[in-house]
Copies of this chain bind each other. A is one copy, B any other.
């Protein structure tokens, strides 16, 4: 068991912030997809809580935090209501989705890695589950919106790498016994900034080598 990183209140507030920003990203995608108010609420909840729910099921933390902490459930509804009434012009939505999503990515890869380690997973598995916590909600969001998940598309800026960096920083800190509020915040911030830079400069991951006649192939799925 790790010693408590932050006071419970600080930890809880950070969790709620991560949930809130992911929920905003889900709700904004729902608006762009032309969903109704329930679709907005559902995508907000799923994006915000999906990754953590997956993590809690995997580590056996049932019932998951999403169902035991009323704040976890209500925060996405608040985000959905804000987006419903106050969302910016549709033209500017995509940027908003991405920036909020980047903030959630940073917070969740750190929180997911830490919780997985507390439940006894190895350092590598904890980092992987932290990554899954961070990207899981977004993947579920895209699946429900019937999109190919941004996570796997080559024409999307780097998304997994920032979360991998954040998760890896956390497990390195654990390994070297250097996990404290400062290093934790640094890991989350690194993931957030890396993701913003990836979006700003359109960093992309390579596709498979030796590809050819892709277009023809795509036409005959």
Interface residues of A (CB under 8 A from B): 30-40, 42-43, 53, 57-60, 62-64, 67-68, 70, 73, 83-85, 87, 89-91, 93, 119-122, 124-125, 128-129, 139, 143-149, 151-154, 156, 159-161, 204-214, 217-218, 221
A144 partner, pick from B33, B38, B143, beta carbons under 8 A: B143
Say how far A78's CB is from chain B's closest CB, in angstroms: 15
Number of copies of this chain that the complex holds = 3
Complex contacts, A68 vs chain B, CB 8 Å: 121-122, 125
The answer on a CB contact under 8 Å between B84 and A37 is no
Considering only CB atoms, which chain B residue lies closest to A27 in the complex?
B208
The answer on a CB contact under 8 Å between B151 and A42 is yes
Give 16 A-B contacts (CB < 8 Å), ordered by A residue: A32-B218, A33-B152, A34-B154, A34-B218, A35-B207, A36-B156, A37-B207, A39-B153, A43-B152, A58-B67, A68-B122, A73-B128, A83-B208, A85-B208, A90-B211, A91-B217
Beyond the given pairs A43-B152, A63-B120, 13 more chain A to chain B contacts, judged by CB atoms under 8 angstroms and listed by A's residue number, are A31-B207, A31-B211, A36-B154, A42-B160, A60-B62, A63-B125, A67-B121, A73-B128, A85-B209, A89-B210, A90-B211, A90-B213, A145-B152
Complex contacts, A129 vs chain B, CB 8 Å: 67
Say how far A71's CB is from chain B's closest CB, in angstroms: 11
Considering only CB atoms, which chain B residue lies closest to A128 in the complex?
B73
The answer on a CB contact under 8 Å between A34 and B128 is no
Give the distance in Å from the alpha carbon of A31 to the alpha carbon of B60 in the complex: 34
Give the distance in Å from the alpha carbon of A89 to the alpha carbon of B148 in the complex: 24
Complex contacts, A206 vs chain B, CB 8 Å: 36-37
Say how far A152's CB is from chain B's closest CB, in angstroms: 3
The answer on a CB contact under 8 Å between A37 and B205 is yes
